[in-house]
């Protein structure tokens, strides 16, 4: 298992329910990047010396905390978890959702507020939860967003 050198681009994946592991592997292999998949359970990963598996103990937000403690500038974090995304954006990391949406410092406040409002409305029974199906278009959008993000970080030096 090889480690990323200081200054290298790293990808951290909130892997428990991540539907784009293979796409992450494709981009990482193309750019020779280290990827760390963080989860509460053991899972099969793509083969390669640059792919690392971290299994954290069960518990709320343990995987999120592991990623948030390490993510910083020149890192890409892949997560659908909005509080984790907020922590990583604050640390300077580039953050993508599995459908390719980028979280930024400018968008994070609205995203957190919407998340909190929807959680409150669900708790009061005013609205029901709805998670749309993950589509081929989502997968394609993610692949393009990750490639663009990696290239942007490389250009920044």
Q: What is the pLDDT along the chain (157 residues), one digit of tens a residue?
A: 445 665 799 999 999 889 999 999 999 999 999 999 999 999 888 888 999 999 999 888 899 999 999 999 999 999 999 999 999 999 999 999 999 999 987 776 666 666 566 666 667 777 777 677 899 999 999 999 999 999 999 999 7
Please report, to the nearest 10 degrees, the dihedral formed by the alpha carbons of residues 34, 31, 10, 103 taken in order.
-140
Residue spans per domain, the chain? 10-151
Sheet holding 94-96, edge to edge: 51-55, 34-39, 10-14, 75-78, 94-96, 102-103
**Using CA atoms, how far apart are residues 118 and 129, in angstroms rounded to an integer?**
9
Cα–chain center distance at 77: 4
Residue whose tokens read 């329910």 = 17
**Which pLDDT value is given to residue 142?**
97
Token duo for residue 27: 């981009």
Furthest CA-CA distance within the chain: 50
The angle formed by the CA atoms of residues 141, 146 and 149, to the nearest 5 degrees, is 120
Token duo for residue 28: 């990482």
**Using CA atoms, how far apart are residues 9 and 28, in angstroms rounded to an integer?**
10
**Using CA atoms, how far apart are residues 9 and 72, in angstroms rounded to an integer?**
10
Specify the length of the chain in residues. 157
In words, the CATH class of domain 10-151 is alpha beta
Is residue 78 within 8 Å of residue 20, measured between CB atoms?
A: yes
Residue 51's nearest CA partner among 98, 88, 4 is 4
């Amino acid at each position: 298992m090889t480690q990323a050198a200081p200054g290298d681009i790293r990808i951290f994946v909130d892997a428990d329910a991540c539907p784009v592991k293979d796409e992450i592997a494709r981009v990482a292999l193309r750019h020779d990047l280290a990827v760390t998949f963080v989860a509460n359970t053991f899972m099969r990963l793509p083969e390669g010396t640059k792919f690392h598996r971290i299994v954290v103990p069960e518990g709320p937000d343990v995987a999120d905390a592991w990623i948030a403690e390490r993510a910083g500038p020149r890192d890409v974090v892949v997560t659908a978890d909005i509080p984790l995304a907020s922590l990583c954006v604050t640390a300077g990391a580039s953050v993508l959702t599995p459908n390719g949406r980028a979280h930024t410092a400018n968008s994070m406040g609205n995203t957190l507020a919407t998340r909190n409002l929807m959680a409150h409305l669900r708790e009061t029974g005013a609205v029901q939860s709805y998670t749309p199906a993950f589509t081929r278009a989502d997968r394609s959008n993610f692949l393009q967003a990750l490639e663009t993000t990696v290239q942007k970080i490389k250009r920044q030096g």
